[in-house]
Structure 1
Amino acid sequence: MPLRDRTARRRIAGRSTAMVAGVAVAFITGLATAPMTYASPSDPGALRWAPCGDLEEPGAECGTLSVPVDWGRPDGPRLDLAVARRKAADPGARVGSMVFGPGGPGDSGVEMVTDRISRFSPEVRRRFDIVSFDPRGVGRSNPVACSDDLLAERPSPELKTQADFDATVAYNARLRADCRARTGPVFDHLDTAQTVRDVDALRAALGERKLTFHGSSYGTLLGAQYAETYPHRVRAMLLESVMDHSVPTARDFLRSEAATAEDSFREFVRWCEAAEDCALHGRDVRAVWQDLLARAGRGELEDPAEPRTPLSSSDLVNKIAFRKFYGVDYAGLATAIAGMAASEPLPASPTSPAPLHPATPVFCSDWHLPVHDYRQYASLVSMMNVTAPDLPYLLPIHMTAACLGSPTANPQHRLDARGAPPILVSNALHDPATGYPWAVSVARQLGRSGVLLTYEGHGHGSVTNGSCMEDAVAGYLTDLVVPPRGTSCPAVPF
């Protein structure tokens, strides 16, 4: 067994995971689970394909890949990973398979292939079989199951006292126990280090000697750790909208997340001041927004999606503003704000944040963000409010509260991917969730292997934003042509 395989096995053996957080839109919206047809392999490591069912755009194939629940015990219980692919549009120019690492955590890679294949550029679709999967604990790959009633009871992250803090820790323990009992053995083996081994099993089952990989958002953590574990098995790797798993403390993590989200709010305000078609043009956008936050805090703001239902200030920030920042829908956000500002106030009433998605144990198993007591927690909240005064109670503070008391299987560390080939690290300058400084940091940690590609625009995800980005990415993935260091691509108008 190669040294890195032995090291990975030692590192994985005996780990346990935990509960529960939320970092991306998937945690608010949940995952679609439309029925699909899968072919079951006859033996571990095999992949047999059959047409996926119920697709608006036919042509995708689905299958399952059998992998160990715990890679530290490869002869122990197994689980089936749901996998999907679309074959290269030009078989004569086919390079091979490209595996996509989905984000979230909690996003379905199967649905990316079956329903959102336009996420990839025409040239990449022409040259590669696009393959992805539902990571363990997600979608159709032994999803985490928890009591809906218990999920709905989660405490607000707006803790006011030490008693609130203690109650949250106790609730998290009850929820972990419930989810573990309902999910089964995989619940304790959901961390990204385990998924790295799943990806290598998928590479082998696809018949690829080396991996071509595109990871987005949370999938960049998966890609980076794959390169660290198997540097000589990487053919090409694109990390887009990059998470920095070396951020050492809860304070550092929360400050980074608050700063990048506030940057997107400032960019929205600046756009609205200049754009005559902004629904708030000529008004004090911040004042209008702060008034909405105050109304939401009193339970007087109606949820646009649920008439007569009050919208909490947390959901105003995360469901309304943050979601629009992802796709740079500034016009849509301005229209939504203007509509809410003109609405009649509801009678004041208590509000509660939306339940978090049950796939969130993955986050808690990958991030060690300890907070020892209410005083420290309140200090973190205060720091975030100073850093992001327009966006109180962002999702990362929900994560921190939801992970209180949870063990961590795969804690943060600096990357060591010596021996890996060039890895393309791509990020927008104004990304609301994974800030540009994280991409710079990851590229530096990769050393000679790290090549930073900068998109000078906005949004979460950028590799198909204009011909400059598409050409740089396609040239790298298909022909291994590495962009010159320091390459930047201009922003595309939105």
Structure 2
Amino acid sequence: MFRRTVAVALAALTVLAGLPGVARADGPPQRLVWGECADDLPNVPPDERVRCARLRVPVDWARPNGPTFELAVARRLARAPERRVGTLVFGPGGPGDSGVERIRKGDRFSGELLDRFDLVSFDPRAVARTAAPVCTPDPVLRKPPVPLTGQADFDAAVAYNRALWSRCRPTSPVFDHADTLSTVRDLDALRRALGERRLSFHGSSYGTLLGQQYAERYPGHVRAVVLEGVFDHSLDVRSFVRTQAAALQDSFDEFVSWCDRSADCVLHERDVRSVWARVLARADRGGYAPRTAFDVTAVALGLLAGPRWPQLAATVRDMDAGTPPPEVNLPLSVAAFCADRPARVRDYTDYAGLVRDAVAVAPDVRYGAGLLAVQTCLGWPSPVRNPPRALNVHTRTPLLLLNARHDPRTGYAWAENVARQLGRHGRLVTYEGWGHGTYQRTACTEAVVDRYLVDLTVPAPGTRCPAS
């Protein structure tokens, strides 16, 4: 009887192992079952070339035979299959951007890439269609301001964050397992399921961290990796805050220079820095309540990413006339970011030191996005799952880095530092212009990436693309 029971159990396990929805640590790769995508994007009609699937992977890769969840995946078939190179996986940014939506829209790729590759992406852990948590703030707790103003605010921020996370956690199986190292394992499982011997990858912004850490863990599985808008994971919290503030200040300086020389700026022939300082002073006095000075800075952070200089000039003019700053949504997947970026800030004294450091390098814009990111993660359990450290990458084909000289979010200094860490295993191409996201800025930036991905042509050292 015992032998018969064991045999039945083994037969059941064999059947389960053949199902596409069952995760396995070893053995043959899963088979992706492609079907119609949910019609859930406004103004994006269904496309016969785009199909969606689910990839089942472990919640915790340290327990590969433990609980699992499903990763949402989308694929856009190559328009010229007779000239198809292979599959290109896109790594979305944020963290919090949807890769499924990028593939469904199809607006992130050149005509050549649309012709030559099957384009695939996914919603990473805890994002959109992949076990995204439902996070509702505790109505009893007040959300502290940015920046914090004292120890009471600091304590309130920690309490607010922990209460929020306790409400998120039960709604997502991966809330405590959304770090980028876990997503690296997901990406390799996806590569295998796609039947690709080696990975062709294009990561944008925070998605560049995924590309970096994938190349580090799986160098033999890399065909080509593009890092566009490079995230530097080697920085401690103080350096992170300082460099993000400095990047925003640099982009603001470029905006001021444009206003000085261009009649298209509604602040032309005015002292733009003085107008901006007056707006911040009004915010400090509560003149835009409940909006704060940080909300004013967030306007610059949002519009300089374009860059949308004319719109920023008009908004600054309106704020100077008394109009409150518009609300700017800066989405961030807490489950992913806080697991990658420790906020080792003991108390308000430490926090105030970070604020002073930011203001020292960014006297006009004061804060940068780094301060918000730190405050968002105050109170996160320590140690984090994916702490900052320098890269150690050894791939046959160098990674291609592409960054704007004046990027307000992933500053050029980050790209330079990551390029130094990569050494001969990386190649930095500089776009001598502005904004966050550079691939489709000019014919030069597009050609550099396309030739690398299609032909594995690595650009010459020091390659630069002029500003448009």
Fold match (TM-score > 0.5): yes
Which residue identity lines up with residue 326 of structure 1 in the other structure?
A
1:164 aligns with 2:153: yes
Following superposition, the deviation at residue 385 of structure 1 comes to: 1.2
Q: For residues 256-308 of structure 1, what are the alpha-carbon distances to aligned partners after superposition, in whole Å with 9 as ceiling and x for unaligned?
A: 1010010000000000101111111111111111112222233323xxxxxxx
Higher RCO by CA contacts (8 Å cutoff, separation 6 or greater): 1
Partner of 1:225: 213
| 1:72 pairs with one of 62, 66, 73 | 62
Residue 106 (structure 1) shift: 0.5
**Runs of 4 or more consecutive aligned structure 1 residues displaced over 6 Å after TM superposition:** 351-356
**What residue in structure 1 maps to residue 436 of structure 2?**
460
Residue in structure 1 matched with residue 312 of structure 2 by the alignment: 333
Q: How does 1:213-362 map to 2 (within 5 A)?
A: 213-247=201-235, 249-301=236-288, 310-318=290-298, 320-343=299-322, 357=331, 359-362=333-336
TM-score by length of 1: 0.84
Where 1:188 maps in the other structure, the secondary structure is coil
Query: Is 1:432 matched up with 2:432?
Result: no
Q: Report the CA distance between 1:353 and its aligned residue.
A: 8.7
Structure 1 residue 207 corresponds to structure 2 residue 195: yes
Q: Distance in 1 between matches of 2:307 and 2:109?
A: 18
With structure 2 as the length reference, what TM-score do the two structures score? 0.89
- Distance across 2 between alignment mates of 1:330 and 1:354: 16
CA distance in 1, matches of 2:448, 2:163: 48
Contact in 2 for aligned 1:150/1:175 (Cα 8 Å): no
Cα deviations by residue, 1:423-450 (Å, 9 ceiling, x for unpaired): 1011010000111111111112112111
Indicate conservation of the 8 Å contact 2:95/2:206, yes or no: yes
Conservation of the 8 A alpha-carbon contact between 1:245 and 1:414? yes
Counterpart AA for 1:74: P
Pairwise mapping of residues 121-200 of structure 1 onto structure 2 (< 5 A)? 121-149=110-138, 153-183=142-172, 185-200=173-188
Task: Report 1:393-432 matches (<5 A).
Answer: 393-406=367-380, 407=382, 408-432=384-408
Asked if the contact 1:428/1:462 (under 8 Å) is kept, the reply is: yes
Does the 8 A contact of 1:151 with 1:356 survive in 2?
no
Which is worse superposed, 408-417 or 139-148?
Answer: 139-148
1:355: Cα distance to partner?
A: 8.4
CA contact (8 A) 2:53 2:73 kept: yes
**Aligned AA (1:329):** R
- Measured in 2, the distance between the counterparts of 1:297 and 1:352 equals 16
Number of positions where the alignment pairs a residue of Structure 1 with one of Structure 2:
437
Task: Give the whole-Å Cα distance in 1 for the aligned partners of 2:258 and 2:415.
Answer: 25
Quick one: distance in 2 between partners of 1:85 and 1:232?
24
Distance 1:435 1:394 in 2: 11
Match of 1:484 among 449, 454, 460: 460
Q: Which amino acid aligns with 2:257?
A: R
**Equivalent residue for 1:50?**
35
Using the alignment, how far apart are the partners of 1:332 and 1:68 within structure 2?
A: 45
Shift in CA distance, 361/90, structure 1 to aligned 2, threshold 3 Å: same
2:455 & 2:415 partners in 1: Cα distance? 23
SS of the residue aligned with 2:54?
A: strand
Distance in 2 separating the partners of 1:100 and 1:450: 19
Gap change, CA 1:57 and 1:337, over 3 Å in 2:
farther
Give the whole-Å Cα distance in 2 for the aligned partners of 1:246 and 1:189.
21
Unaligned 5+ segments in structure 1 are 1-39, 302-308
**Is the Cα contact below 8 Å between 2:96 and 2:333 reproduced in 1?**
yes
Distance 1:362 1:313, change over 3 A: same
Structure 1 residues 150 and 65, CA gap change in structure 2 (3 angstroms): farther
The answer to whether 1:442 aligns with 2:442 is: no
Shift of the 182–354 alpha-carbon distance from structure 1 to 2, 3 Å rule, reads: farther
| d(CA) in 1 for partners of 2:360, 2:327 | 22
Residue 464 (structure 1) shift: 1.3
SS of structure 2 residue aligned to 1:468: helix
Q: Decide whether the 8 Å contact of 1:100 with 1:214 is kept in 2.
A: yes
| Candidates 73, 78, 86, aligned match of 1:88 | 78
How far is 1:405 from its partner? 2.5
Q: Kindly provide the CA deviation profile for residues 62-98 of structure 1, in whole angstroms up to 9, marking residues without a partner as x.
A: 1111111111111111111111111111111110110
The match for 1:29 is none
Larger radius of gyration: 2
